[in-house]
Amino acid sequence: MSLIGKSPERPDAFDKVTGGKAFPVNVKVPGMLHAKLLRSPYPHARILSIDTSAAEKLAGVKAVLVPSEVPKRKFTPVYFVPANAGSMVQDMLIMSDTVRFAGQPVAAVAATSLRIAEQAIELIEVEYEELPTVFDPEEAMQPGAPQLHDHATNNVAVNPVMGFGDLDKGFAEADHIFEGVYSSHRVHTCYMEPRVCIVDCDRQGNFTVHSSTQHLFGLREKLAFALEIPESKVRVIKSPYIGGGFGGKLDMGYIEPIAALLSRKTGRPVRIEQTRHEDFITTARHPIKVYLKTGVKKDGTFTARHAKSILDTGAHATHGAEVINVHGVFGLLMTYRCPNSKWEGYTVYTNNMIGGGYRGYGSPQACFAAESQIDEICEQLQLDPIEFRRKNAWHAGEPHPMVQGLTLDSYAFDECLQSGAERFGWSKRKKADSGKGTKKRGMGFACQPLWVSGCIGFPDIYEHSGAIIKLNPDGTADLATATMDIGSGQITTLCQIAAAEIGLPMEAVHMVQNSDTTTVPVDAPTHASRATYSSGNAVQAAARTVRERLLMVAGIMLDISPDQLSVVDGKILVKGAPKRSLSVAEVVTRAESPFVQHGANGPAPTTLEEKGTIIGVSSLAPKANPSPVSVEFVEVEVDTETGVVQVLRVVYAHDLGKLIHRNGAEGQVEGGFQQGMGYALMENLQFDPVSGSCLAADFLDYKMPTAVEMPRDIQSIFIESNEPSGPFGAKSLSEPCITVPAPAIANAIYNAIGVRIRELPITPEKILAALGKL
Amino acid sequence: MALNLEDYFLPASLQEASTLLQRYGDGAMVVAGGTFVHGLEVRGLLTETVALVDISRLGLRGISESGNGGVSLQALTTLAEVGAAPLISRNPAFGSIGDALQYPPRQILNVGTVGGCVAAAAPLYDLPAAFLALDGQVQASLAARQRAIPLNDFFVGLFESALQRGEIITAIELPAPAARSASAFLKLETNANDLSILNVAVRLTLDKDGKCADSRVILGGGVGETYVRATSAEAALRGQTAGEASFAAAAAAVVDDFEAVEDHRASAAYRRHIAQVYVRRTLGTALARLG
């Protein structure tokens, strides 16, 4: 246990700070071709003809692919659901002759060099028939709007409606009713490594795939489905690292199936690497407009809540069909106790780019609406916002509000509120707009009261993890799992959990670097704040088997019952007889030694029971889905002449069950704040309003906070409520870190200057306009 | 975006560099620090460029006094070197230079050059605005010929300068500032890795009565194809006592001096508003620097 909660050095740290070769973007395969996609300049069009003859004649061009050549089975590219999941929408083709967003691939070329491929796509002649466009989801829902898909009347892809209680009665019982419209925009996860893949098809039609992905098995399943081949024909290699994901690599892109088809055509490996501009139009957080109506008693008790959410999913439903549910349930319907609630979601097709996964998965949009409105209610009714939340909160021991049969075993909302408020100095908050001078300071906070540790209990979502741990004769352990480290430290925490459970020093556990879908158990993606909890449980289970086997062999060697033994820091200790200890290396060596050993007294047999690799294998789903809780306090300074907002300091309190790796956890909080602050204040993926083309070429156009804009003071408080179903008591951390900053900042801005901005991002211009200065 | 680059040269002399530039004409681009080559490429602005002429081996580095308190900055002097030079940092007249150097991303301070940000001829850079406020001039060389070009005449259009084919900037010269002069600079940016949305550089020269004897008000960023000298703002200051009232008048006047750009980064109205705030603030800073 001594390792848990410490900050052992990340095993990947040295490799990464010295340049890290082990990313998919570094992979080179002998004989590989380079492919480039030709993308449509129009947001809505029908392809009338494609002439590839000039491109095919260019020296070095090995294959050209056009929509008529791709399989006709429609699919959803989302990794964590079955390909034919009923709750999702199968509306995509690898390439279609109908273009629904600017940038959709319409042809591809594989050539001996990237430069030739780039020249070749410019030689392809495409004749388009332009179609009427719609970019606003509420316009798209109107009768008569351009229709994107035959199956979706008024462009509504899915329309979940949920609720309980009696809404009319609830509003009738309310002393006050508040209504507001809160809208959010499109932002990109800004993973560092571009989406990239190499696909190699052999002569038997077996595909070997390298890809910067958050999910090996999801890519295997979706690629096989789209290509209409058995899953065993696809082998996805686990890259030791990927350069970030944040949910932005949770679906198969266009590049993997296109590379696969080009490889099958040419018999050579085909590599596609997206430019940053292509990455920008590949995945983004969905803009969601939330109409929120809330009834409260004088004392702040909720009596009724009604929300309507309109999500712009772009050209295809993909993640939009699931994001809407997570948004509604975990952001609006179930966050607080309210007896009469209703939520309606609309996932709407438009001619915008396709939305994707992004850390928080619908919750930041909801949290901004809900936590902003609570602040408005408290301001108007003169209620204490901390007490307000306490009054409406869930409590430990209550049934899980969403997943039947589960209980909120660990749930420390109160402690988060209290310790955060104390550390921050919340009691020093002044009345709104009470500062003097041009620069005004304000304090605010926001909460994420309910979230997930993985996806147990949710329809259609995979939730499995597995691990293989085997010991080596030198006393080290190899840990193999399909769980991807997407930059957030899974290699470290999983090695740490294995080391702590077996009783090895941290540096004795190594993550296997070259496993693939044929060698490790099935796993869900690294997403949904699940890896530490779910994969951690699987690793712990495999480690427990390893320890039991280790003690069994040691017991035979020492002629003592295993229950008299323990493993500590690589040594087998005998209760009450420390001098009889053995090293793990000695035990493993013995287990793998020849059956008969020649010793000082001549040949002597060992026993059959102790023979063989000391190995532990697990493949399981976790028992529960514990909810973390988070509260974030921020102080801002607003320049009332320029509208520029500076975040001065942050205190973040989070119930994570049990801290596994302190530095890693703080990194999650700080990284989440950077993304959340960017979402609140500056990040915005912008498009030309007429052509629908993305205006961002690179990070000069797409603005995210750099180290310079980050507050110098970010403090993390980790509340350890000890989750009984988690590894060493742990549950999740990641996503609430990105969810709470936007409403916390919005509330602090209100406190500073007395104006409420309900539309993200809160730009300097919006602030000046709200102040009546523009 | 197909890149058509074919040649990369590392000439050992100015003469050789000029010859290469003359040979390739519009097909060549000079590279010094090279910090914006990628930025041009992804925006499709390098498609005509077939040769890069890297002048980083030409020396041309250093800062020296040039008679009566003027300063000469050789073209390949890095931004970090300018920031560290006592000749610049100790003189309140050059305050705008120190201010402008607060903005470029840390990552490029040791490679970005003085000559490079001027030669780029885009009003989106910071340092040239400060140089304009100080009546700087460019020294340019072509074969044996050396000539001075006042910065006021240097910027002709977006990515267009007064340099002739083959001509290379060798230094930026700043004349000796008049007594009781100070300058200041402010930039509006979204993050620390940004080209200017709007920037303002001012220089204030006071007479013995504290009245404004001379001033420069320069606007950059989204103000058009080149930097703008705000003559109405300068006129509003002339002969007035330096202080809140005259600065407010200059700020009010500056909106007549430029056509604010309207784009996805900021509205024209916001740029006009910021120009006023920044003119007032930079003038205040400059006045404070005079003690």
Report, as an integer, the average pLDDT of A431-452: 97
Specify whether the CB–CB gap between A626 and A454 falls below 8 A.
Answer: no
CB contact under 8 A, A708 and B274: no
A697–B contact, CB cutoff 8 A: yes
pLDDT in tens, B230-280: 999 999 999 999 999 999 999 999 999 999 999 999 999 999 999 999 999
CATH for the stretch B63-174 = 3.30.465.10
Distance CA A315, CA A317 (A): 7
Chain B residues whose CB is inside 8 A of the A118 CB are 1-3
- Nearest CB to A703; choose among B3, B194, B274: B194
At A270, which helix (H) or strand (E)?
Answer: strand A270-273
3-state secondary structure of B170: strand
Per CB-CB distance under 8 Å, the chain A contacts of B43 are 697
Angle (CA) A378-A379-A385 rounded to 5° is 35
DSSP character at residue A49: E
Q: CB distance B42–A697 less than 8 Å?
A: yes
Give the best residue of B38, B45, B46, B191 to mutate against chain A (max A CB count within 10 A): B191
Distance CA B232, CA B156 (A): 21
Domain topology for B181-289: Enolase-like; domain 1 (3.30.390)
Partner residue opposite A699 with nearest CB, options B2, B193, B274: B193
Residue of B191, B269, B270 lying closest to A704 (CB–CB): B191
Average pLDDT rounded to a whole number, residues A201-210: 97
Chain B, nearest residue to A276 by Cα:
B42
Cβ neighbors of A455 (< 8 A, separation 6 or more) are A80, A461, A462, A463, A524, A528, A530, A625
Tell if the CB–CB gap between B273 and A119 is shorter than 8 Å: no
Residues of chain B found within 8 Å of residue A115, distances taken between Cβ atoms: 2-3
State yes or no: pLDDT of B3 exceeds 80: no
Nearest to A531 by CA among A477, A492, A476: A492
Does A26 have pLDDT greater than 60?
A: yes
User: Quick one: CA torsion of A660, A663, A666, A670, rounded to 10 degrees?
Assistant: -140
How many CA atoms does the CB half-sphere of A307 hold within 13 Å?
34
Domain-wise residue ranges, chain A = 13-131+189-280, 393-456+625-770, 465-620
User: Can you spell out the DSSP letters for B206-227?
Assistant: E-TTSBEEEEEEEEEESSSSS-
Beta-carbon contacts of A745 under 8 Å, excluding residues fewer than 6 positions away, are A444, A634, A636, A645, A647, A676, A677, A680, A681, A762
Which residues of chain B are within 8 Å of residue A276 when distances are taken between CB atoms? 42
Quote the pLDDT of residue A597: 84
Helices A255-266 & A216-227 angle (0-180, nearest 10): 60
Give pLDDT tens digits for A754-773. Answer: 999 999 999 999 999 999 99
> How far, in Å, CA of A513 to CA of A333, rounded?
42
Going by pLDDT thresholds of 50, 70 and 90, the confidence category of residue B4 is confident
Provide the shortest C-alpha distance from residue A712 to chain B (in Å): 15
Cross-strand pairs, A314: A349
- For all residues of chain A together, what is the average pLDDT? 97
HSE, side-chain direction, 13 A CA sphere, residue A168 = 0
A13-131+189-280 — its CATH code? 3.90.1170.50
Mean pLDDT of A307-324: 98
E-assigned strands of A545-593?
565-568, 571-574, 582-583
Q: What was the pLDDT predicted at A606?
A: 87
CATH 3.30.365.10 fits A393-456+625-770, yes or no: yes
The answer to whether the CB atoms of B43 and A697 lie below 8 A apart is yes
Q: What is the pLDDT of residue B2?
A: 54
B43 to chain A, minimum CA–CA distance in Å?
Answer: 7
What tens digit of pLDDT does each residue of A143-155 get? Answer: 999 999 999 999 9
Q: Answer whether A768 sits within 8 Å of B43, measured CB to CB.
A: no
Instruction: Evaluate if residue A638 carries a pLDDT over 60.
Output: yes
Question: Where in chain B do CATH 3.30.465.10 domains reside?
Answer: 63-174
Q: What is the pLDDT, as a whole number, of residue B68?
A: 81
- Who among A686, A698, A768 is closest to B273 (CB)? A768
Residues of chain B with pLDDT > 90, as a percent, come to 91
- Give the Cα-Cα-Cα angle A34, A487, A263 (nearest 5 degrees): 20
The model's pLDDT over B109-134, given as tens digits with 9 standing for 90+, comes to: 999 999 999 999 999 999 999 999 99
Answer whether A18's CB lies under 8 Å from A521's CB: no
B277 → closest Cβ in A115, A641, A706: A641
Q: What percent of chain A has pLDDT over 70?
A: 100
Per the CB < 8 Å rule, is A706 touching B266? no
Contacts with B105 from chain A: Cβ below 8 Å:
706
Instruction: In whole angstroms, give the CA distance from residue A68 to residue A106.
Output: 10
Q: Fold match between A13-131+189-280 and A465-620?
A: no
Calpha distance A456→A474 (Å, rounded): 38
Q: What is the pLDDT of residues A45-80, one digit of tens each?
A: 999 999 999 999 999 999 999 999 999 999 999 999
Burial class (CB in 10 A: 0-12, 13-18, 19+), A595: exposed
Q: What is the pLDDT of residues B157-186, one digit of tens each?
A: 999 999 999 999 999 999 999 999 999 999
DSSP assigned state of A297: -
* Minimal Cβ distance to B191: which of A641, A686, A706: A706
> Nearest Cβ partner of A765 from B38, B192, B270?
B270
Q: What is the DSSP string of A141-159?
A: TSTTSPPS-TTSGGGEEE-
Q: Does domain B7-54 have CATH number 3.30.43?
A: yes
Q: Which letter does DSSP use for residue A178 in this model? A: E
Cβ of A682 within 8 Å of Cβ of B190? The answer is: yes
The stretch A192-205 carries a mean pLDDT of: 97
**Could you check whether the bond before residue A24 is cis, i.e. omega within 30 degrees of 0?**
no
A275/B2 CB distance under 8 A: no
- B103 alpha-carbon distance from chain centroid: 13
Domain with CATH 3.30.390.50 in chain B: 181-289
Query: Minimal Cα–Cα distance from A34 to chain B, Å?
Result: 14
Task: Say whether residue A452 is in contact with chain B using an 8 A CB cutoff.
Answer: no
pTM, to two decimals:
0.97
Percent of chain A exceeding pLDDT 90 equals 97
Within 8 A of B200 by CB-CB distance, chain A residues are: none
- Cβ distance A642 to B191 less than 8 Å, yes or no, reads no
Q: Is there a contact between B3 and A115 if contact means CB atoms under 8 Å apart?
A: yes
Q: Which helix (H) or strand (E) holds B245?
A: helix B244-254
Cβ–Cβ below 8 Å for B190 and A698: no
N-to-C CA span, chain A: 59
Q: What is the pLDDT of residue B69?
A: 85
Domain spanning A465-620, CATH architecture: 2-Layer Sandwich (3.30)
| Res A1 pLDDT > 60 | no
Mean pLDDT of chain B: 96
Q: What is the pLDDT of residues B186-216, one digit of tens each?
A: 999 999 999 999 999 999 999 999 999 999 9
Contact list in B for residue A774 (CB cut-off 8 A) is 269-270, 273
- Cα gap B190→A144, rounded to integer Å: 40
Interface test with B, best of A186, A439, A646, A703 (most B CBs within 10 A): A703
Structure tokens at B63: 């800062």
Chains A, B: CB contacts within 8 A come to 52
What is the tens place of the pLDDT at every residue in A374-408? 999 999 999 999 999 999 999 999 999 999 999 99
From B239, B231, B238, B237, select the one nearest B255 (Cα to Cα). B231
**Is A697 in contact with A277 (CB distance < 8 Å)?**
yes
How distant is the Cα of A56 from the closest Cα of chain B, in angstroms?
A: 17
State the nearest Cα–Cα gap between B3 and chain A, in angstroms: 8
Q: Does residue A188 register a pLDDT over 60?
A: yes
d(C-alpha A37, C-alpha A70), whole Å = 14
The 10s digit of each residue's pLDDT in A102-117 is: 999 999 999 999 999 9
Cβ contact A703–B273 (<8 Å): no
Question: Scanning every residue of chain A, which has its alpha carbon at the shortest distance from the alpha carbon of B263?
Answer: A688
Tokens of residue A647, six digits: 């975040």
Residue A623's pLDDT is 94
